[in-house]
């Protein structure tokens, strides 16, 4: 019962904020704080002394089969190093993303964790702590006044978008919500990924982001040649859906029935693209930025696999064949991604994108700091118009 109440309050919070056009997570909206939550440490993976995975559940899944409410821990996993799996804990965390579908799953950054002997002791201690401390309630109250119609609208929008993805057969090339073909970048990830407005703009007029991905181009669904040809409002529905829900796996069974294996978009479009390829033109990079990049060993490490405009072009990488055809141009990536997603991705690519081809780099905190500073600087130069990325659009031709 307690869990249900908690779930509804979170649901209305998150969907409420989203209903006003905001993404689940952003730098401006750093998450929702929870204190003294009684949780079950359901899964913990340790590799060479590092805690690499922690899943917390709102109940013991062995005791109740319908307890599917879970949270994965991102920052703060190391705090669980001495706590055995399958034990009860009290945690303070900041919820960073949440997806609701037959239970909920989300991810959080944990600030504090205390182990308890058993569930009862944990709940008693929790009650006592909350009585003693009366911690300032997180700013939930002011935000929760969401009408149920707002919530229903939101759920309806999401399912419309899901149907559009199905009708447009995006899974002929992409993994969406955990399944589909892998000819194009995966559209399954955790946390809010893209800068505001980027996705809708990209879907309306897609351009090349991956210089070594020479077999295929993202298609323009607003084109009159497209079947179906999608309206701008439909594209923003899809964009909203991808930003908020695309990371969720596994999806409901009925969506799994989509016969994406038979779509065959890739062979035909790969052939059309080979007939009329689009040469990648690297974006210009100002001298001051080049100099800054040359000084940083950490940034140079990225250039072993990624291009960055004119600084590192495909020609200066040691291919072909390029071992990492999915690696995008980092300049275009910085135009596309939120800074916090970018940084978290570099720290642990597999966590944010389970099927990623990018390996985890053995970087120190200092090096991560250096990458962050550089990324922030590049994004600032772009906002000021001092770096202007080149976008290359592909024009399909009507065939007889």
Can you give the binding site for ligand HEC, defined by CB under 6 A?
Answer: 165, 168-170, 172-174, 184-187, 199, 202-203, 208-210, 213, 216-221, 223, 225-226, 238, 263-266, 268-269, 272, 298, 301-302, 304-306, 324, 326-328, 333, 336-337, 342, 345-346, 356-359, 361, 371, 396, 398-399
Nearer to ligand HEC, 67 or 278 (CB): 278
Closest approach of Cβ 358 to ligand HEC, in Å? 3
Closest approach of Cβ 154 to ligand HEC, in Å? 19
CB 185 within 8 A of CB 196: no
Nearer to ligand HEC, 90 or 306 (CB): 306
Structure-block tokens of residue 23: 């993404």
Nearer to ligand HEC, 44 or 191 (CB): 191
Nearest to 74 by CA among 338, 350, 339: 350
Q: What gap in Å lies between CA 198 and CA 157, rounded to an integer? A: 19
Nearer to ligand HEC, 88 or 280 (CB): 280
Closest approach of Cβ 241 to ligand HEC, in Å? 9
Task: Using the structure block, give the residue that is written with the tokens 């307690």.
Answer: 2
Nearer to ligand HEC, 143 or 313 (CB): 313
Closest approach of Cβ 346 to ligand HEC, in Å? 5
Task: Find out whether the peptide bond into 196 is cis, omega within 30 degrees of 0.
Answer: no
CB 322 within 8 A of CB 300: no
Largest CA distance in the chain: 77
Nearer to ligand HEC, 35 or 174 (CB): 174
Nearer to ligand HEC, 41 or 317 (CB): 317
Nearer to ligand HEC, 13 or 187 (CB): 187
Q: How far apart are the first and last CA of the chain?
A: 63
Contacts of residue 173, defined as CB under 8 A and 6 or more positions apart, other chains included, come to: 180, 181, 183, 184, 216, 265, 266
Closest approach of Cβ 132 to ligand HEC, in Å? 44
Task: Using the structure block, give the residue that is written with the tokens 């291009």.
Answer: 307
Structure-block tokens of residue 7: 């779930």
Q: How big is the CA angle at 387 (ends 385 and 390), to the nearest 5 degrees?
A: 105
Closest approach of Cβ 238 to ligand HEC, in Å? 5
Rounded to the nearest angstrom, the gap between the alpha carbon of residue 311 and the centroid of all alpha carbons in its chain is 27
CB 80 within 8 A of CB 96: no
Closest approach of Cβ 199 to ligand HEC, in Å? 6
Q: What gap in Å lies between CA 136 and CA 141, rounded to an integer? A: 11
Closest approach of Cβ 289 to ligand HEC, in Å? 15
Cβ of 59: how many Cβ atoms within 10 Å? 19
């Amino acid at each position: 019962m307690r869990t249900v109440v908690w779930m509804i309050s979170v649901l209305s919070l998150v969907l409420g904020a989203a209903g006003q056009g905001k993404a689940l997570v952003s730098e401006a909206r750093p998450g929702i704080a929870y204190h003294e939550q009684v949780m079950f440490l359901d899964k913990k993976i340790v590799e060479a002394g590092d805690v690499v995975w922690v899943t917390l559940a709102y109940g013991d899944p062995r005791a109740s089969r319908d307890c599917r409410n879970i949270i994965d821990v991102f920052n703060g996993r190391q705090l669980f190093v001495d706590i055995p799996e399958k034990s009860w804990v009290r945690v303070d965390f900041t919820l960073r993303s949440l997806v609701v579908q037959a239970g909920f799953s989300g991810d959080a950054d944990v600030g504090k964790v205390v182990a308890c002997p058993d569930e009862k002791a944990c709940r008693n201690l929790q009650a006592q702590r909350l009585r003693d401390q009366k911690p300032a309630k997180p700013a939930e109250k002011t935000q929760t006044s969401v009408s149920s119609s707002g919530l229903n609208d939101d759920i309806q929008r999401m399912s419309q978008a899901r149907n559009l993805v199905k009708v447009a057969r995006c899974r002929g090339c992409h993994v969406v919500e955990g399944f589909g073909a892998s000819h194009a970048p995966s559209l399954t990830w955790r946390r809010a990924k893209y800068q505001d407005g980027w996705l809708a703009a990209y879907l309306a007029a897609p351009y090349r982001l991956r210089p070594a991905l020479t077999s295929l181009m993202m298609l323009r669904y607003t084109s009159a040649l497209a079947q179906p040809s999608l309206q701008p409002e439909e594209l923003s529905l899809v964009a909203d859906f991808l930003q908020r829900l695309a990371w969720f796996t596994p999806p409901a069974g009925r969506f799994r029935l989509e016969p994406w294996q038979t779509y065959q978009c890739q062979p035909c479009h790969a052939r059309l693209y080979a007939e009329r390829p689009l040469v990648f033109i690297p974006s210009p990079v100002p001298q001051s930025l080049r100099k800054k990049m040359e000084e940083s060993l950490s940034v140079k490490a990225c250039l072993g696999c990624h291009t960055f405009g004119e600084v590192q072009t495909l020609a200066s990488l040691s291919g072909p064949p390029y071992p990492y055809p999915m690696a995008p141009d980092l300049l275009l990536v910085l135009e596309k991604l939120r800074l916090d997603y970018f940084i978290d991705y570099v720290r642990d690519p597999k966590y944010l994108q389970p099927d990623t081809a990018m390996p985890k780099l053995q970087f120190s905190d200092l090096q991560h700091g250096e990458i962050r500073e550089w990324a922030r600087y590049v994004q600032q130069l772009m906002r000021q118009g001092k770096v202007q990325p080149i976008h290359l659009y592909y024009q399909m031709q009507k065939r007889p």
